[in-house]
Chains A and B, each alone.
Chain A
Amino acid sequence: MRLKVVLLGEGRVGKTSILFRYIRNEFQEKQQSTLQASYMDKRIKVGSVDAQLSVWDTAGQERFHALGPIYYRDADGALLVYDITNSESFTKVRKWVKELRKIVGNDINIVIAGNKIDLERNRQVSEAEVLEYAKSVGASHFYTSAKQNLGLEECFNELATKMVAQNKAKFAGGVAGLGVPKGGKSKLVVVDDTGGGKKSGGGSCC
């Protein structure tokens, strides 16, 4: 099973480091120079299913924002990264979630990663706010540190598990008919479109 994951996050939140740390399991050490650092394949086992993750890194700068849809298309999952020491980077996460739901639809699985947890003392993004938001949009949330290799496995495993489950459901649904929405998913979705939008409006003033 081949699964596409887009990696979204503002510049300097550590997307590239996460990708590298997770897939090559090395962090800015003895890296070969010719490697492509913005795309990676990783085989992963979810239960009995062999899944291959194709992780697509995206440019996080505002000037490239409009290009997002070219990358999101057909994505099974998205990992949204923010920097816990930078509140603005979390505001961006809200923006991306909205956009993903609008463009890719409700089928895309979202995991939010609060990176740089090793810099806890400089935290600017409140934990309560983040968790509430994640819940409201049906996303899982993890704290990660690419530097100390914390939370990465969990993060990707959760995403892969969700994606595999959904793909299976899709196949099953495809046989039974076109009734795509599966219980849990569709519930999350409804919350997202209304509550998520309002919350992001309220949250951005912090």
Chain B
Amino acid sequence: MSLESSPAAPVGVDAAPPAPPPITRSSSSTGHYSSTSMGQSTPISSSRKSELLMEARSARQKWLTNQDPSYDESGSSDGPLLLSKTSLGSEFSTSLEPFLDHLYGPLSTHHINNLTHLTLPSSNPLLSNPLPSESPSYSTLISNLSTPEASDICSSMMNFVEQFREKSEDLLKARASILESKRIAPFKYSDSSPPLNLEAESASKLINQYVTNLLPQISSSPPFSTSKPEDLEPLITMFLHRKLYGICEALTSDVQDDDNFAERLSELSFINFEHFDITCLQPPAEEERDSVASTESTGSREPRQDLWDVPLNTLRNISTLKSPIEKIQNILQTSSEITTALTSALPPGDLPGADDFLPAFILCILRSNPSNFKSSLSYIQSYMPHSMQISEEGYVLANVMSGVSFLENLDEGSLSISKEDFRLGVEKRRAEISSRIQKSKEKERSIMIEKLAVSAPPLRSPPSFPEITAREVRSARLSNTLPSRSNSYIPSSPPPPPPFPVKKRYSYISHTADTLGINDVEGLLREYKELVYTCERLVKEREEETRRRDKKEREDKRRQMEGELEGYDNE
């Protein structure tokens, strides 16, 4: 019980997990138990008791192993949030994309798990495995938490997650307003002190405090008797971070900033190894440092392409990882892979120091241009354990931060490149980007026009669309051509009106099979998908709601029974 009254969980203290004592008492007092208000309800029989216990246990297990539908951004509470967060453009479909990314994140995470296979030399037990969430110690934690002995711990964590969700609403609102004000009056980060993110800070504090309070109870629980508290702490923290990723991430992410940075990187993507004159990649020479211009003539070496691709691919996955530890481990791994790639270009026995490593790291960020990179970094900064700040994790994070800062502030003076070449490079890239945007815009527009054209006719007058017979369709399918419409019949009736008034946005609602062309398939499919996703979200919301209601009912019932029992005992 002491758990619920921890500072991390000041609200809903009464929402305690089903506590064993009342149940035992109820079974002992079976004989004289008669209900007053709960008409049909009988004393809890032992079979009912075990049934309830089983139920609770399977719910816990589901929750622990993430089979719980509310896991992963918990469609209900975070879905709309994510939508609102990303709705920079007004188009629903564009804002839907990140939402889907989040929704289907776990799939991609699995994908990466298969890809990442390099291990890192590190003293941290969490980091000695490809992914901390895949480590044996983590799975042991999960299986220990699923044991009946750990049920109160597990319920406490479930409660915490629930309460955190409720509490986070205010934080999220505050965050949204900050982002809004930033959009109106953008400010530039100063290199040395990124602005404190108070919302994330307090979220992080909540989680850490909770874990600290929980730790003594966990270590005294039988399933964990063999584990050391200092080993358990990072694991539990990671578990909670994975559970709360949607909220925690929303508190640190800034889509606008991410987009700007990604655009900046693509503008700069002409930059290459030669522009950094990385010492270790230059031919061994006795010449002085200032003979910088000679790199072109001597030609700088580059790391082996196949080895160089490895860190690029690793870093690209950073936004799919769902805890600070996993994200920072991704950066550690990237670093080690860069070192490997650089070493390949060095004479045997030589190792790249920071002079060589940092430029290579900067190029790695530039080349891989990971999605939502800046958000990922501020997520790490806000939630990473303080103990990591001095150690290697802190060091690699400093490298990334300086890399980002360098890329943001870079101009022709920062590189071994002539002013003219730099300007040309940027301009060329800009032209390429804008032509690409232009193209995609044109494509979008043509789709829109098509859509309008298609949806317009039924509104004006019933057009005389030719009908195609089944036989014609079949023969066309066999010959792999489109059935011709010219030699077909006139449709007998206009398409039926929809059963209720609909918004004009559903461009296909007034169509019949006859009026749809092959060109409509794309649009139709898009609208269909939108529909499915919206439905899914609504269904999830409803499930969540039902679950919440059920839980409340159960609790009410229990409390009532407890009350009655107490009454009996007093008599």
A residues with CB within 8 A of B:
2, 4, 7, 10-12, 15-16, 19-20, 28-31, 33-39, 41, 54, 56-61, 63-64, 66-67, 69-71, 73-74, 103
Contact = CB atoms under 8 A, between A and B. Distances in A.
Contacts of A61: 355, 359
B395 interface: yes
Contacts of A29: 349
B340 A11 contact: no
A34 B336 contact: yes
A146 B437 CA distance: 54
B101 interface: no
Given A38-B352, A54-B392, A66-B409, 19 more contacts: A2-B390, A16-B353, A16-B354, A29-B349, A31-B351, A33-B340, A33-B344, A34-B121, A35-B121, A35-B351, A36-B336, A36-B392, A37-B351, A38-B395, A59-B357, A59-B359, A64-B358, A67-B191, A67-B406
B414 A63 contact: yes
A15 B343 CA distance: 17
Interface in B332-371: 335-336, 339-340, 343-344, 349-355, 357-359
B114 to A, nearest CB: 21
Contacts of B402: 64, 67, 70-71
Contact of A69 (B192, B340, B352, B357): B192
B390 A54 contact: yes
Interface in B354-409: 354-355, 357-359, 389-392, 395-396, 398, 401-402, 405-406, 409
B289 interface: yes
A20 B349 CA distance: 12
20 contacts: A2-B390, A11-B289, A11-B355, A15-B353, A15-B354, A16-B352, A16-B355, A28-B349, A34-B339, A34-B340, A35-B121, A37-B352, A38-B353, A38-B395, A39-B396, A56-B398, A57-B354, A67-B191, A70-B405, A71-B402
Contacts of B95: none
B339 A37 contact: yes
Contact of B353 (A37, A66, A67, A73): A37
Contacts of A33: 339-340, 343-344
Given A30-B349, A71-B402, A15 B355 contact: yes
Contacts of B406: 64, 66-67
A37 B361 CA distance: 14
B350 A28 contact: yes
Contact of A70 (B191, B350, B392): B191
B279 interface: yes
A2 B394 CA distance: 13
B539 interface: no
Say which size band chain B's interface belongs to. Answer: 35 or more
A125 to B, nearest CB: 16
Contacts of A60: 354-355
B279 A12 contact: yes
Contacts of B482: none
B391 A54 contact: yes
B353 A19 contact: yes
A59 B355 CA distance: 4
B174 interface: no
Contacts of A16: 351-355
Contacts of A10: 289
B532 interface: no
Nearest to B396: A39
B354 A58 contact: yes
B456 interface: no
| Residue from the set A29, A67, A74 with the largest chain B CB neighbour count within 10 Å | A67
B415 interface: yes
B281 to A, nearest CB: 13
B192 A73 contact: yes
Contacts of A19: 353
B401 A70 contact: yes
A59 B354 contact: yes
Contacts of B354: 7, 15-16, 38, 57-60
B189 to A, nearest CB: 11
Contacts of A64: 358, 402, 406
A103 B351 CA distance: 30
| Residue from the set B123, B343, B353 with the largest chain A CB neighbour count within 10 Å | B353
Contact of B335 (A28, A31, A36): A36
B349 A31 contact: yes
Interface string B408-433: 01000111000000000000000000
A39 B340 CA distance: 15
A8 B359 CA distance: 16
A35 B289 contact: no
Given A11-B289, A70-B192, A39 B395 contact: yes
Contacts of B414: 63
A139 B282 CA distance: 35
A19 B357 CA distance: 14
A33 B357 CA distance: 14
Interface string B181-193: 0000000000110
A37 B354 CA distance: 8
Contacts of A71: 398, 402
A97 B464 CA distance: 85
Given A61-B355, A67-B406, A11 B390 contact: no
A12 B279 CA distance: 8
Contacts of A74: 389-390
Contacts of B359: 59, 61
Contacts of A70: 191-192, 398, 401-402, 405
Nearest to B352: A37
Interface in B117-154: 121, 123
